[in-house]
Amino acid sequence: MTMTLGRNKDNRYDLKGLVEEVLNLVGTFNLADYVPFLGPLDLQGLTERMKKASKVIDQILEKIITEHEQDSNKQVQHRDFVDVLLPMMNKPMNPNDTQVLWKNFKMSCKVSLAWTGMVEEKDLGNLSYLDMAVKESFRLHPIAPLLVPRECLEETSIEGYWIPKKSRVMVNTWAIGRDPNVWSENVEEFYPERFIERNIDLKGQNFELLPFGSGHRMCPGVQRV
C-alpha cells in the first residue's frame, strides 16, 4: 500500500472493511446464478450491496487521485505509483512504435491471406506473425502472474530446493517471462520475432511460457487461444 498510495495506513478509509465486503459478496450463494430470470429482482440484495461497495471504492480512489494531483507541484521526496502514473495519463503518446507493430500485423495478414482478404478462425494457423505476437504478449503480461496456488501432495525436490508435503506452491510466470537467461537481454522489449524457429506453445509443454499453467489442471481457456 505504501508503494501504491504513498502511505501504509489511512484512518479515513475503511479499506479492510471494503475488501471483506467484496470478498463476502463474491463468495455468497447467488440464487440468480441458478435461476437467471430472478436476477433483475435482486431478491438477496447482492447487486445493491455490490453497487454500494463499488461506489464507495470509486469515491476513495477519486479522493486519492485528487490529493496526488494537488501535491504534484510540490517537491515530494518519495514518489508512489499514483505519482508515476498520473503524468503518464496526460503525456502525449508517441504513435510511431504502435504504427510499426501494426504495420507488421497488417503485412502478415496480407501475405498469408492474399487469396481471401478476410481473417477467419480457420486461417489463424497461417498467421505466424500474429501467433508470435500473442505469445510475446503473454510473455510480457501474463494473465495470472503467479498462476493459481497449488498444494504439494508429497515431498519433492526441484533444482535443489526441498519442498515439504502440504506446501503451498506459486509459480512466478511473470519472472520466468522476463528471465534474460531464457529470453536474451531485451526481455523488457515487445519483440515477437524472438519466437522465430522456437517451437514454444501456450499449452504448458514449454515451461518458458506458462500463461495458462500446465498439466491436467491448467486453465481451460487455453482452448480458445
Instruction: Indicate whether 194 pLDDT > 60.
Output: yes
Q: Please, which pLDDT band fits residue 135 given cuts at 50, 70 and 90?
A: very high
Query: Where do we find the cell 498520473?
Result: 86
Q: What is the pLDDT of residue 65?
A: 84
CA-nearest of 195, 202, 201 to 221 is 202
Domain count, the chain: 2
Instruction: Indicate whether 9 pLDDT > 90.
Output: no
Name the residue type at position 94: N
Cβ atoms of residues 180 and 168 within 8 Å? no
Considering the domain architecture, whether residues 206 and 153 belong to the same structural domain is answered as: yes
Considering the domain architecture, whether residues 161 and 72 belong to the same structural domain is answered as: no
Coil, strand, or helix at residue 181?
A: helix
Q: Report the interhelical angle of 95-112 vs 128-140 (nearest 10°).
A: 140
User: Taking residues 150-155, what's their average pLDDT?
Assistant: 90
Range of the domain at 159: 121-224
Query: Grid coordinates in use for 31?
Result: 440464487
CA distance 47 to 43: 9
Considering the domain architecture, whether residues 84 and 130 belong to the same structural domain is answered as: no
Establish whether 109 is an annotated binding residue: no
Query: Grid coordinates in use for 10?
Result: 489511512
Cβ atoms of residues 127 and 119 within 8 Å? yes
Question: Does 136 reside within a domain?
Answer: yes
Considering the domain architecture, whether residues 85 and 125 belong to the same structural domain is answered as: no
Q: Where are the beta strands (DSSP E) in 50-201?
A: 150-151, 156-158, 161-163, 168-169
Question: Does 11 reside within a domain?
Answer: yes
CA distance 105 to 190: 14
Q: What is the pLDDT of residue 154?
A: 93
pTM: 0.53
Question: Does 106 reside within a domain?
Answer: no
Instruction: Indicate whether 185 pLDDT > 70.
Output: yes
Considering the domain architecture, whether residues 76 and 170 belong to the same structural domain is answered as: no
Cβ atoms of residues 108 and 127 within 8 Å? yes
- Indicate the average pLDDT of the chain: 80
